[in-house]
């Protein structure tokens, strides 16, 4: 017998609520369907009536975690339209904040993965460390979430020697703690076992469904915009693209931990090679008629802005595609033939800009229409209960480090 289960759609605190409708056979998901647009804000329409400068602060507000990704993607696009060469020191500082943002976003994700897997002390540890990065960002930009650091031609604030020294000192702490997390995975086999084999997405499917970011890289495709289409100063920085071949949630965790360690290296390189000179150059107000396709590797994957100008001080069209949208098609493929208890984990694994699974309606008896509402915490408890019953010694998944 088949059941229909609705997950979502709304959570007032989140900016991207979606609704998932699933067809179940027992505990196995046979089909899944998405409905988006519960909080569509019309930013693309609004951007057409704002000047390029005003849109800097509008695009930043697309996302609350990767705000700098959207702003940088937009800024570097408009700089190309203006035929403006940004100040080199400005580009270094911009890249530094990009990487700091990646660090705080990945630490946030690790915590969420730990929580969904029922490993809540891991969640508290990573979020404690995330505060360290947030404090650095607060200290060098003045803000914790919307940094407002970008401007056409560079950045708005310089960083001084004291700030440089403090960031380098803190990096040591973050590195030690991230390495400790690697060992946690090795010494805590239940964590690796809970993540292994969940949310399978084959390499062919990931490519066909145009997945992006860690989701794609965990399926063994080394696509990273920072390498394929270098922006800012990434063509000067030595770093490696992290990939995994396990095609599951464990692989996605591995990719993110590896990326954290790469990010620390990048930050260290940037600070040690920070060039002297001005941190911004003057930009024109009007933009010639042209168009640009700007790509950016956000923490969640490839972020895309398509900007068309018409010769005035306002854009003709601004098209934004955030990485989460690109991963939805792949998420449906991951959910199919998975367990209902794995929904929170699979959904969290694409690091969506949502935690909309606030409530779950379970139709106990479709004929009489009697229904039962489960809260998200109850659902998670159900998932944890289920996995407590499994004999993990039989499964024996190895932590890959």
Q: Note the residues at the interface with another protein (CB under 8 A).
A: 35-37, 40, 42, 44-45, 80, 207-211, 223, 227-229, 292-293, 295, 302, 304, 306, 308, 316-317, 319, 321, 325-326, 328-330
Q: Which is nearer to another protein, 36 or 382 (CB)?
A: 36
Give the C-alpha distances (Å, rounded to integers) separating 306 from 290, 311, 317.
11, 16, 8
CB of 37 to another protein, least distance (A): 4
The residue (of 60 and 224) whose beta carbon lies closer to another protein is: 224
Pick 32 or 196: Cβ nearer another protein: 32
Encode 293-310: b = buried (16+ Cβ within 10 Å), e = exposed.
ebbbbbbbbbbbbbbbbe
The answer for residues whose C-beta is within 8 angstroms of residue 76's C-beta and 6 or more apart is 231, 232, 294, 296
Instruction: Please state the closest distance from residue 302 (CB atom) to another protein, in A.
Output: 7
Residue 122 neighbours by CB under 8 Å, 6+ apart = 110, 111, 114, 115, 181, 184, 191
Under 8 Å CB-to-CB from 64, ≥6 apart: which residues?
Answer: 15, 145, 353
Shortest spacing between CB 222 and another protein, in angstroms: 8
Residue with Cβ nearer another protein (319 or 372)? 319
Residue whose CB is less far from another protein, 191 or 296: 296
Question: Is the distance from CB of 350 to CB of 90 less than 8 angstroms?
Answer: no
Query: Where do the DSSP E strands lie in 11-122?
Result: 19-25, 28-35
Q: Tell me, rounded to whole angstroms, the distance of Cα 263 from its chain centroid.
A: 14
Give the nearest distance from C-beta 294 to another protein in angstroms: 10
* CA dist., res. 126 & res. 182, Å (int): 12
The residue among 77 and 154 lying less far from another protein, judged by its C-beta, is 77
Shortest CB 332 distance to another protein, Å = 10
* 398 DSSP assignment: P
Nearer to another protein, 209 or 257 (CB): 209
Query: 146 or 205: whose CB is closer to another protein?
Result: 205
Rounded to a whole number of angstroms, the minimum distance from the CB of residue 153 to another protein is: 18
User: Whole-number minimum distance, CB 58 to another protein, in Å?
Assistant: 16
The total number of residues shown for the chain amounts to 401
CB 349 to another protein: min, Å: 18
Q: Which residues pair with 69 in a beta bridge?
A: none
Alpha carbon separation from 400 to 9, 61, 182, 243, 250 (Å, rounded): 36, 37, 9, 12, 9
């Amino acid at each position: 017998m088949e059941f229909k289960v609705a997950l979502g759609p709304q959570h007032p605190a989140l900016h991207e609520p979606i609704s998932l409708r699933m067809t179940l056979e027992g505990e196995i998901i046979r089909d899944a369907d998405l409905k988006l647009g519960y909080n569509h804000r019309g930013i693309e329409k609004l951007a057409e009536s704002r000047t390029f400068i005003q849109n800097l602060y509008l695009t930043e507000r697309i996302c609350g975690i990767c705000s700098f990704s959207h702003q940088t993607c937009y800024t570097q696009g408009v700089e190309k339209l203006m035929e403006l060469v940004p100040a080199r020191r400005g580009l270094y500082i911009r890249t530094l904040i990009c990487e700091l943002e990646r660090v705080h976003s990945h630490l946030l994700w690790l915590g969420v993965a730990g929580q969904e897997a029922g490993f809540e002390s891991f969640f508290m540890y990573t979020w404690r460390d995330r505060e360290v990065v947030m404090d650095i960002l607060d200290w060098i930009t003045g803000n914790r979430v919307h940094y407002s650091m970008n401007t056409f031609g560079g950045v708005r604030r310089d960083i001084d020697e004291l700030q440089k020294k403090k960031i380098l000192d803190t990096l040591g702490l973050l590195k030690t703690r991230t390495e400790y997390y690697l060992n946690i995975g090795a010494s805590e086999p239940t964590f690796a076992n809970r993540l292994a084999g969940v949310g399978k997405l084959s390499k062919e499917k990931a490519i066909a469904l145009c997945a992006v970011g860690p989701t794609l890289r965990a399926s063994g495709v080394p696509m990273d915009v920072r390498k394929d289409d270098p922006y800012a100063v990434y063509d000067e920085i030595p770093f490696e693209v992290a990939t995994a071949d396990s095609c599951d949630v464990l692989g996605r965790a591995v990719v993110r931990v590896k990326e954290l360690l790469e990010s620390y290296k990048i930050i260290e390189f940037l600070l040690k090679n920070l060039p002297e000179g001005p941190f911004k150059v003057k930009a024109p107000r009007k933009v010639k008629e042209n168009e640009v396709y700007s790509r950016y590797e956000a923490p969640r994957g490839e972020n895309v802005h398509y900007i068309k100008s018409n010769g005035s001080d306002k854009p003709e069209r601004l098209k934004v595609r955030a990485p989460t949208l690109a991963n939805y098609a792949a998420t449906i493929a991951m959910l199919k033939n998975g367990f209902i208890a794995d929904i929170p984990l699979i959904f969290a694994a694409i690091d969506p800009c949502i935690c909309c699974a606030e409530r779950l309606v379970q139709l106990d008896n479709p004929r009489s229409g009697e229904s039962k509402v489960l809260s998200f915490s109850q659902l998670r408890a159900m998932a944890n209960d289920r996995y407590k019953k499994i004999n993990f010694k039989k499964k024996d998944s190895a932590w890959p480090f």
